[in-house]
């Protein structure tokens, strides 16, 4: 009798869980979020579009010279572009998924935006801090990496998911080694904390079908990491002014 009650209890839990999360799918197939998950995916990035616009504008008006203004424009565009493309893709995946080709284009743009967001996030540090004679080349190399990553998405979209994930990790890790070579270290701690949020969030990024609202949770980790990095840029590169003479 007790065993049958436990079975019914678990069955009810599974039925209630299916409202919020579909079953895990093989790597060769795409996970199909529930309507609740679709809504959460849209909201958890859509809510940050306006704050990112405001944040980029604040940095622009705090700029001391043209280099600060260019860095603010690049960073603000990358930050806002990430949230806009993500929201558009998840909206398309929710409402017009039957238009498979259109949805795929939105998905490709979403994946490409991540590369340019990473490059834009590093740009203020690479442009406004003094770097060594070799490290300064990262200012343009990071954009080459973003273009290569985007070309990979264009030609091999969704074919080698693990390789694509490793590309994002490498894109985030390699410039960090250059940042650590800076003479002025203020803000490095915040950069590390923000990076930890991104890395931990990857666990949820790969947990669709295992954790309810896994992708939306990943979005929240991205927003938290971006918020910490924005604070570091605002605090150490704009509010306090250049601590060292900028290297052109």
pLDDT tens for 153-182 read 888 887 877 788 888 888 888 888 787 777
Q: What pLDDT, on the 0 to 100 scale, is given for residue 163?
A: 82
Asked if residue 21 lies in contact with residue 209, where contact means CB atoms within 8 angstroms, the answer is: yes
Maximum C-alpha span of the chain: 78
Q: What pLDDT, on the 0 to 100 scale, is given for residue 4?
A: 54
Q: What are phi and psi of 34, to 5 degrees?
A: -75, 170
Taking alpha carbons only, the member of 53, 105, 100 closest to residue 78 is 53
- Distance of alpha carbon 180 from alpha carbon 138, whole angstroms: 13
Query: What angle in degrees, to the nearest 10, is found between the helix axes of 214-233 and 49-61?
Result: 10
Fold (topology level) of 38-239: Rhopdopsin 7-helix transmembrane proteins (1.20.1070)
21 Cβ contact partners less than 8 Å away, ≥ 6 residues apart: 34, 37, 209, 211, 212, 213, 214
Q: What pLDDT, on the 0 to 100 scale, is given for residue 17?
A: 53
User: pLDDT digit of tens for each residue in the chain (248 aa)?
Assistant: 445 545 554 445 444 556 666 777 676 677 788 889 999 999 999 999 999 999 999 999 999 889 999 999 999 999 999 999 999 999 999 888 778 888 889 999 999 999 999 999 999 998 888 877 777 788 889 999 999 999 998 888 878 777 888 888 888 888 887 877 777 778 888 999 999 999 999 899 888 888 889 999 999 999 999 999 999 999 999 987 544 444 43
DSSP assignment letter at 137: G
Q: What pLDDT, on the 0 to 100 scale, is given for residue 8?
A: 52
Query: What angle in degrees, to the nearest 10, is found between the helix axes of 100-128 and 214-233?
Result: 30
Model confidence pLDDT, tens digit, residues 204-228: 988 888 888 999 999 999 999 999 9
The domain segmentation of the chain, as residue ranges, is 38-239
Q: Show the tokens assigned to 132.
A: 């060594």
**3-class secondary-structure state, position 99:** coil
- Give the pTM: 0.85
């Amino acid at each position: 009798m007790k065993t049958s009650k436990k079975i019914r209890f678990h069955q009810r839990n599974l039925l209630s869980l299916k409202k919020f999360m579909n079953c895990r799918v093989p790597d060769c197939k795409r996970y199909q979020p529930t309507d609740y998950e679709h809504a959460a995916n849209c909201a958890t990035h859509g809510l940050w579009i306006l704050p990112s616009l405001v944040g980029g504008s604040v940095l622009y008006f705090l700029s001391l010279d043209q280099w600060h203004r260019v860095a603010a424009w690049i960073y603000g565009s990358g930050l806002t572009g990430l949230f806009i493309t993500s929201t558009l893709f998840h909206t398309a995946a929710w409402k017009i998924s039957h238009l498979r080709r259109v949805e795929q284009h939105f998905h490709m743009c979403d994946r490409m935006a991540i590369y340019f967001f990473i490059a834009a996030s590093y740009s203020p540090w690479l442009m406004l801090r003094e770097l060594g004679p070799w490290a300064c080349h990262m200012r343009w190399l990071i954009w080459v990496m973003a273009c290569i990553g985007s070309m990979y998405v264009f030609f091999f979209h969704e074919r080698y998911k693990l390789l694509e994930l490793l590309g994002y990790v490498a894109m985030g890790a390699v410039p960090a080694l250059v940042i650590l070579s800076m003479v002025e270290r203020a803000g490095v701690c915040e950069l590390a904390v923000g990076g930890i949020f991104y890395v931990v969030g990857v666990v949820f990024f790969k947990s669709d079908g295992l954790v309810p609202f896994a992708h939306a949770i990943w979005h929240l980790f991205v927003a938290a990491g971006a918020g910490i990095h924005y604070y570091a840029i605002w605090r150490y590169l704009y509010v306090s002014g250049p601590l060292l003479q900028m290297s052109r």
